Amino acid sequence: MSEEQKPKKKPRPAPEKIIPTSKDMDATKHRVHPRFAKGKYTNIRLISMYLILLGFLIAPWLRWDGRQALLFDVIEPKFYIFGATFMPQDFYFFAFVFIIAALMLFMVTVYAGRVWCGYACPQTIYVHLYQHVEKWILGERNKRIKFDKMPWNAEKILKTALIHTIWGVFSAITAVTFIAFIVGTDYLFFNGHPLFFMGWGKMTWIFFILIVFVTQTNAGYMREHMCVYICPYGRFQSVMFDKDTLIVSYDYERGEPRGARKKDTTPAGYGDCVDCTMCVQVCPTGIDIRNGLQVECIQCAACIDACNEIMDKVGYPRGLIRYTTERQLVEKQKTKIIGWRIFAYTGVLLACIIAATMVLVGRAPLEMEIRHDRKQLSTIGRDGMVENSYVLKIVNKTNERQVYQVRLDGDNTAGMTLRSRFKELPLQASEPYDLPVSIIGDPNIIKPGSTPVTITVYSKDGQYSASAQDVFIYEPKKSKQPK
């Protein structure tokens, strides 16, 4: 074997599952300028990311029954979601929603790795968008790196100002869209002022400036450091991954030892990796996937597309870097899709979905609570009648104006009558009201002590009704004994 045919590098051992890198110990800011890959996974990623971004921008403008379809009014507070109105009493329903979302994220992570980070995370979407702005103005990766090292002059100041201006426009649009979910598009854009933003209140401006600053900082400066150092998701991925989790992996047995070579030639002793470092150049977090799975990897598959493109050029089969599992790559066994985890996650997830559905379906359109007057439970008037005072908290959860009436129900109400401030109570859609009422009892008929009573609130058309129970208290005064 000639000297040229001998391998210049020794084969590397198989990497561990999670390899700590220098980033775990060094928090120095090193800006990553990735090359933008082209390929199947990149196209899927771009479509998914920008569809999510487009949905975010359009969502506040959707209308439902003459109202903004998605409005999370934290001031009243009321949440309007496609015709359904949720109030503080319904917040337990959102607990189910958050639990379901968390379980779905965990289940997807167990089987598909960090696809959320690579294809749907807002941080990834905005970082990719902001990096594209740099590409439009500065050029490809080498030009951006050279621009960073350039001393400050008129050209650098001008281009930097232009980049930050475009970033600022994107950040402002993001802030306005986010605030529109809270205060509504009508308040933001149709407040009657010729310059709509001049009609905003002080708190709106505070949140606008805060969101612009956070967006600009995260997407323009923090970038991958937000994923690596702040977001906990990447840190606990090693706990959730197993041998059957789908991850982006480098086939070290096929690729090592790596080295440069001519097209359609494979020197004896060399693997398929030509050591072009394209997988490193396209990585948005700046890691080398050939070193094994790392916490910085967001599984965007940009390295797969870049490597496949190089394999096509040198005439080697694709898949040197690919989506695979540890069981398939290392142990050469078939991936086990069905396992105890899928049954556990599916069972818990189905239970939460069923519970949330039952809560949503069983959600009453009319809600009523009784609060007894705690200051004075029972009083006796000049006419000798016993009076108990209550406050009825009535909430009209329907989307229409309703007229309600109140009545006294129950089998133990002989000698009792209900007195209300209003014979009819009109309430607008989603309007709450505290209605004071009194129950008057005849001491010659009612029994001393506590008597259960039921008060019912019902709509005038008889469509809705709600009842609640409390007690009527009568404590006769004891006559004084003569000394």
| 17, 331 contact by CB (below 8 A) | no
The values of phi and psi at residue 288, to 5°, are: -105, 105
Residue of 353, 109, 343 whose CA lies nearest to 235: 109
> Could you tell me which residues come within 8 angstroms of residue 383 by beta carbon, excluding any fewer than 6 positions away?
none
CB atoms within 10 A of CB 121: 21
Dig out the tokens for 40 from the structure: 């199947």
Residue with tokens 């009842």: 467
Q: What is the DSSP letter of 228?
A: I
pLDDT for res 52: 96
Taking CA atoms, 450 is separated from 249, 369, 392, in Å, by: 73, 19, 19
pLDDT tens across the length of the chain (483 residues): 444 444 444 444 444 444 444 444 444 556 889 999 999 999 999 999 999 999 999 999 999 888 899 999 887 778 888 877 787 777 777 888 888 888 888 888 888 888 999 999 999 999 999 999 999 999 999 999 999 999 999 999 999 999 999 999 999 999 999 999 999 999 999 888 888 888 898 999 999 999 999 999 999 989 988 888 888 887 777 678 888 888 999 999 999 888 888 776 767 778 889 999 999 999 999 899 999 888 888 999 999 999 999 999 888 899 999 999 988 888 888 887 777 777 888 888 888 888 888 877 777 788 889 998 877 778 888 888 999 999 999 988 887 889 999 999 877 888 899 999 888 999 988 788 999 999 999 988 888 888 899 999 999 888 889 999 999 988 887 655 555
Pick among 3.40.50.720, 2.60.40.10, 3.40.430.10, 3.30.70.980: CATH of 366-474: 2.60.40.10
pLDDT for res 342: 77
The torsion of the CA quartet 278, 284, 288, 292, rounded to 10 degrees, works out to: -130
Residue of 381, 385, 388, 368 whose CA lies nearest to 437: 388
Alpha-carbon span 285 to 276, nearest angstrom? 18
Whether this model's pTM surpasses 0.85:
no
Q: What is the DSSP letter of 230?
A: I
pLDDT for res 5: 46
Using DSSP, state whether 28 is helix, strand or coil: coil
Per residue in 30-85, pLDDT tens? 688 999 999 999 999 999 999 999 999 999 999 988 889 999 988 777 888 887 77
SS3 content of the chain, % helix, strand, coil (to 5): 40, 20, 40
Residue of 23, 35, 17, 117 whose CA lies nearest to 283: 35
Taking CA atoms, 299 is separated from 43, 164, 251, 253, 284, in Å, by: 14, 28, 16, 21, 10
CB atoms within 10 A of CB 280: 17
pLDDT for res 96: 84
Alpha-carbon span 122 to 51, nearest angstrom? 12
Domain ranges of the chain: 40-86+121-240, 366-474
pLDDT for res 305: 96
User: Dihedral sign, CA of 145, 146, 147, 150?
Assistant: positive
Question: At how many degrees (to 10) do helices 40-58 and 154-183 cross?
Answer: 60
